[in-house]
Chains A and B, each alone.
Chain A
Amino acid sequence: MAEDATAEGDALREYYRQMVLIRVFEERAAEMYTRAKIGGYCHLNLGEEATVVGLMAALRPTDYLFTTYRDHGYALARGSEPGAVMAELFGRTSGLSGGRGGSMHLYDAARRFLGGYGIVGGQIPPATGAALALAYRGGPGAEQEAVMCVLGDAATNIGAFHESLNLAAVWRLPIVYVIVNNQLGMGTPVEAAAGEPELFRRGCSYRIPGERVDGNDVTAVRDAAAEALRRARVEHQPMLLETVCYRLRGHSVVDPARYRSDEDNARARALDPVPMLRDRLFESGVLDPPGAAQIEAQAEQVVAAAVDFADRAAAPSPDTLFQHVYATPVANLNHALPGEPLFGSHSSHTGTGV
């Protein structure tokens, strides 16, 4: 019993460490964006830290993860190097996707993080297919690997969501779909977009059990995800989990979120999961203020080092432009740069394109 309490205390401190790391990382990412170190779109997990960390705590290293484009926190909580994550945002060769994906398209094969996806809901059919591959190779059981597919509230309105849940139900696949309900699809409230705004019920048509959990409570998220994953493994029962939280900033870094009222913002700050967990740990004696300060200072150091790493990392050379487009080389791949002749040699980039 005492050992359990100690283990849970260690786990809680570790969740707090990860949540603070995500918080600090995302705030620095926003800053780097305004300093033009980061381009394109940049979506932050601010306000979703408890959901992200709780989900990743329930996922085994051997399980597979697919997420939305709001993906930085998942990579960090899954154990990817913060420097490699930041380097991807900076578009560097040592970034998590070699600088070819950017913020929305993180990928870490070694950690079975099979991608952030820029198209809303685009990850849902491939995640379902990954679960199909698992079922193809092995039957249900406690050791069965499973897939977690993270999606946003607005993705529950697209066809691919419904087609995928139907396939998972018909084929009985080991997958957990997690709806991270941050209550806004860009600027549109869930109630204005979803015929069934209690999103965890949207699996009913496919007899997929659904559960709603407080996404600001890291252990509630962890425990619900663990149970859903257990049923996915042991019964090959696809599951649906909804975590309700609130993003603290706009849809992306450049969104001032004028569609939100002062009351909305005050409520979001009151429910901010990071101080909420800290206070909870203080109350239960798992953490004291010096301990919290140490965790926070360490996160600042880690993120500063990540920014430094990304800033010093090499940008990809244009010579590598055609790398990775194809896995199997075949004849007559076209490697002409804009304006170059179709025929004759292309001196600087005659690689195989693989």
Chain B
Amino acid sequence: MAMMTYRQALHDTLRAELRRDDDVLLMGEEIGVFEGSYKITAGLLSEFGARRIRDTPICEEGFVGAAIGAAMLGLRPVVEIMTINFSLLAIDQIVNHAAKMRSMFGGQVSVPLVIRTPGGGGQQLAATHSQNLEVWYAHVPGLKVVAPSTPADAKGLLTAAIRDDDPVIVLENLALYNTKGEVPEGEHIADIGTAAVTRTGHDITVVAYSRAAVVAQDVARRLAEEGISVEVVDLRSLRPLDRDTICASVRKTTRAVVLEDDWLSYGIGAEIAATIAEGAFDRLDAPVRRVAAAEVPLPYAKPLEVAALPDAAGLTRVIRETLDATGFAG
């Protein structure tokens, strides 16, 4: 194990995969000379050259579509979309093309494409640069969507995504790039499609992913000091969704709260709540609650931004309310 940041884990994984397989190439805006908006690709241009580290013009539809075509001929492009907000410029290529080609063409072609892109608010980037649109992609058959919350999963899931023969969206988060954690050395491949119980507990389950999974861990740690035992399920994969792990946890704890950075209505938490309603209804002691973003275009001013985003205090309050509603005495 080595202690490193989430950013370093992504960087090292890209470098290792570039060294391993000449068919892997990186494409995106400012990933080469500028070394990436968030410096994930620092140093890679000088090591691998412009053939494999390919700066693109600003044209998400064009370069994502081009990556799809390159993947159809057997290359394994890893595209960086500077933030998930800009992925909307490419949504026709992602949803109408990458996701459908294999099925629509009768299995004659596959699209081994990776799209890395960070979501997340909280940096005063205002409404157009602070969104969490992962559910748009998690909705679509033919795509896979993973959302690592730790440096170890950043390595394991990105490696799995690059070696997977389907289009995989790797959701990163601006607030995670500087977080640190232990990362396995050598080859480390995580299973796409599986959630992880990252903290065991018996009073209540918190389901979360990406940045929210880190917040959930912190809250669980603090509540443990009060004698409240929180189990944390980190989804890790949004499509496919590991419904069995979610329901097994809730069947044990009998209560559940979802923490999610996206907007409440029709969000990831809605799918989790529906899953729990179907798979653990007979064991539930309380309604499933969701702690999600307020439904506004995120404002710039700090007090408004803070008010709109889900946080540890909100999660803690909703956990207490859920426990109180069921006469929990510790």
Q: Are B278 and A342 in contact (CB under 8 A)?
A: yes
Contact bitstring B131-150, A, C-beta under 8 A = 1, else 0: 00000000001101000000
Q: Are A134 and B194 in contact (CB under 8 A)?
A: no
Q: In chain A, what residue has the closest Cβ to B113?
A: A129
Instruction: Enumerate 28 A-B pairs (CB-CB under 8 Å) in ascending A order.
Output: A97-B106, A98-B107, A100-B103, A101-B106, A105-B104, A107-B104, A115-B109, A119-B97, A125-B93, A126-B72, A126-B93, A127-B69, A128-B62, A130-B69, A132-B66, A160-B93, A163-B63, A166-B59, A167-B57, A324-B103, A327-B110, A327-B166, A330-B192, A331-B192, A331-B242, A332-B241, A342-B279, A343-B279
Contact bitstring A311-354, B, C-beta under 8 A = 1, else 0: 00000000000011111101111100000011100000000000
B165: which of A126, A127, A327 is its contact (CB, 8 Å)? A327
Q: Are B108 and A164 in contact (CB under 8 A)?
A: no
B188 at the interface (CB under 8 A from A): no
| Nearest CB in chain A: distance from B31 CB, A | 15
- Nearest 3 pairs of A and B residues by beta carbon: A125-B65, A129-B69, A98-B106
When chains A and B are docked, how far (Å) is the Cα of A124 from the Cα of B69?
Answer: 9
B193: which of A129, A325, A327, A333 is its contact (CB, 8 Å)? A333
9 other A-B residue contacts (CB within 8 Å) besides A109-B109, A327-B110: A97-B108, A98-B106, A115-B109, A129-B72, A133-B70, A136-B70, A327-B102, A330-B191, A343-B244
Q: Are B104 and A97 in contact (CB under 8 A)?
A: yes
| Nearest CB in chain B: distance from A271 CB, A | 34
When chains A and B are docked, how far (Å) is the Cα of A96 from the Cα of B108?
Answer: 10
Q: Are B97 and A133 in contact (CB under 8 A)?
A: no
Given A101-B106, A132-B70, does the pair A341, B278 have CB atoms closer than 8 Å? Answer: yes
B56 at the interface (CB under 8 A from A): yes
B73 at the interface (CB under 8 A from A): yes
Given A105-B105, A327-B110, does the pair A129, B25 have CB atoms closer than 8 Å? Answer: no
Q: Are B142 and A126 in contact (CB under 8 A)?
A: no
Q: Give the chain A neighbours of B141 by CB distance below 8 A.
A: 325
Q: Are A331 and B275 in contact (CB under 8 A)?
A: no
Q: Are B103 and A163 in contact (CB under 8 A)?
A: no
Q: Are B64 and A125 in contact (CB under 8 A)?
A: yes
Chain B, interface size: which category? Answer: 35 or more
Q: Are A125 and B61 in contact (CB under 8 A)?
A: yes
Chain A, interface size: which category? Answer: 35 or more
Q: In chain A, what residue has the closest Cβ to B143?
A: A326
Please give the residue numbers on chain A whose beta carbons come within 8 Å of chain B beta carbons, in ascending order. 64, 95-101, 105, 107-109, 114-115, 117, 119, 122, 124-134, 136, 159-160, 163-164, 166-167, 170-171, 323-328, 330-334, 341-343
A331: which of B57, B66, B101, B193 is its contact (CB, 8 Å)? B193
When chains A and B are docked, how far (Å) is the Cα of A167 from the Cα of B27?
Answer: 12
When chains A and B are docked, how far (Å) is the Cα of A341 from the Cα of B240?
Answer: 16
Across chains A and B, the number of contacting residue pairs, with CB separation under 8 Å, is 176
Q: In chain B, what residue has the closest Cβ to A110?
A: B108
When chains A and B are docked, how far (Å) is the Cα of A96 from the Cα of B106?
Answer: 8
When chains A and B are docked, how far (Å) is the Cα of A334 from the Cα of B139?
Answer: 12
Q: In chain A, what residue has the closest Cβ to B111?
A: A327
Q: Are A128 and B65 in contact (CB under 8 A)?
A: yes
Given A126-B68, A326-B142, A328-B165, does the pair A100, B105 have CB atoms closer than 8 Å? Answer: yes
Q: Give the chain B neighbours of A100 by CB distance below 8 A.
A: 103-106
When chains A and B are docked, how far (Å) is the Cα of A108 from the Cα of B105?
Answer: 8
Given A125-B65, A164-B65, A167-B66, does the pair A107, B142 have CB atoms closer than 8 Å? Answer: no
B51 at the interface (CB under 8 A from A): yes
Q: In chain B, what residue has the closest Cβ to A342?
A: B278
When chains A and B are docked, how far (Å) is the Cα of A115 from the Cα of B65?
Answer: 14
Given A100-B104, A101-B105, does the pair A332, B65 have CB atoms closer than 8 Å? Answer: no
